[in-house]
Amino acid sequence: MSHPYVVVDAFSDRPLLGNPVAVIFEAGDLDAATMQRIAAELQLSETTFVDDTTTPGEVRVRIFTPVNELPLAGHPLIGTARAWLDRTGHPAARFVTKRGPVEARREAAGSCVMSVTQPAPFVADFDQQDVVLGALGITGTPTPITLYDAGARHLLVQLPTPDELLALVPDQRALAVLEDLAVNCFAVDGAGLMNRMFSPAYGVVEDAATGSACAPLALHAIEHGLLPGDEIVSICQGELLGKGCEMFVDVGAVAGGGAAILSGATAVVASGVLTV
């Protein structure tokens, strides 16, 4: 069958400067193995497959990297929100993911800014700090290396300054032994954060913008006194990749058991038909 698709750049309002995701529509006839092969063929950091459910306004979304399926991710859902809401003309939708329902909406009529809810991340056990330090070529960090589960699993490693972060040259082979996680190296940058994400385990050498890491990054920074806890946190990423991605996350409701809200601009880059 033929499947319409759209490529959306997430976290930039200018095409080719955001983090791309391919959104495959009418995907109900595709099995997981075929979805995985399509994602491997397209070689974007993520590809999503969407289809209506039997409930009006509800959309089933599956997310694949080139090598595996993710239960939840940030930039793919921001891009999928733009593609789906453009296609349907609706202002909002509920996305059903492997990690549960996510509320997606357009910030205002005609706006390119999308937002999605994210379940509160939780801290997971991690005992390979020495492996991480060796792979990154550093001897220590200002705050503890911490693993958060946010659907995707994100390890947070603070660098003292943005310059040191940008100068980092990780040993990708050494990082590849860390299964099922992404290593996010970050630094405080003015009133916000700068992030670089490396994940050989997810088939991504370096990601241009990692939306699912934003709530963990903001909560970690607030917990350790790096940022105040009463503001929406701005996180920039992708500079060394020639990208200009800026993500915004509001974690104000997380302490009370609510969801974080991730938002950012989007730009449609391409559209076509997948003949599979």
The answer, as to whether pTM is greater than 0.85, is: yes
Give the per-residue pLDDT at 93. Answer: 96
Which domain CATH number covers 21?
3.10.310.10
Same domain? For 100 and 128 the reply is no
Q: Residue 32 is encoded by which pair of tokens?
A: 């997981």
Same domain? For 102 and 185 the reply is no
Strand pairing report for 113-118 and 92-97: unpaired
- Biggest CA-to-CA distance, the chain: 53
Q: Can you give the residue range of the structural domain that contains 24?
A: 2-119+263-275
Give the per-residue pLDDT at 57. Answer: 85
Same domain? For 113 and 165 the reply is no
Same domain? For 141 and 249 the reply is yes
Same domain? For 112 and 126 the reply is no
Backbone Cα Rg of the chain? 18
In sequence order, which residues have a C-beta less than 8 Å from that of residue 190 and are 6 or more positions away?
A: none
Whole-number Å distance between alpha carbons of 11 and 15? 10
Same domain? For 128 and 110 the reply is no
Same domain? For 114 and 126 the reply is no
Q: How many residues does the chain have?
A: 276
Whole-number Å distance between alpha carbons of 29 and 35? 10
**Pair 187, 104: CB distance under 8 Å:** no
Q: Which residue is listed with tokens 């499947």? A: 3
Give the per-residue pLDDT at 162. Answer: 98
Give the per-residue pLDDT at 52. Answer: 85
Same domain? For 91 and 128 the reply is no
**Pair 254, 120: CB distance under 8 Å:** yes
Enzyme catalytic residues: 46
Burial class, 9, CB count within 10 angstroms (exposed 0-12 / middle 13-18 / buried 19+): buried
Same domain? For 19 and 95 the reply is yes
Same domain? For 269 and 235 the reply is no
Same domain? For 132 and 230 the reply is yes
In sequence order, which residues have a C-beta less than 8 Å from that of residue 120 and are 6 or more positions away?
A: 215, 254, 257, 258, 259, 260
Give the per-residue pLDDT at 151. Answer: 82
Same domain? For 134 and 89 the reply is no
Number of domains in the chain: 2
Whole-number Å distance between alpha carbons of 26 and 206? 30
Q: Residue 122 is encoded by which pair of tokens?
A: 């939780």
Give the per-residue pLDDT at 88. Answer: 94
What residues of the chain score a pLDDT lower than 70? none
Query: Over the stretch 14-63, which tens digit does the pLDDT of each residue have?
Result: 999 999 999 999 999 999 999 999 999 999 989 999 998 888 889 999 99
**Pair 110, 82: CB distance under 8 Å:** no
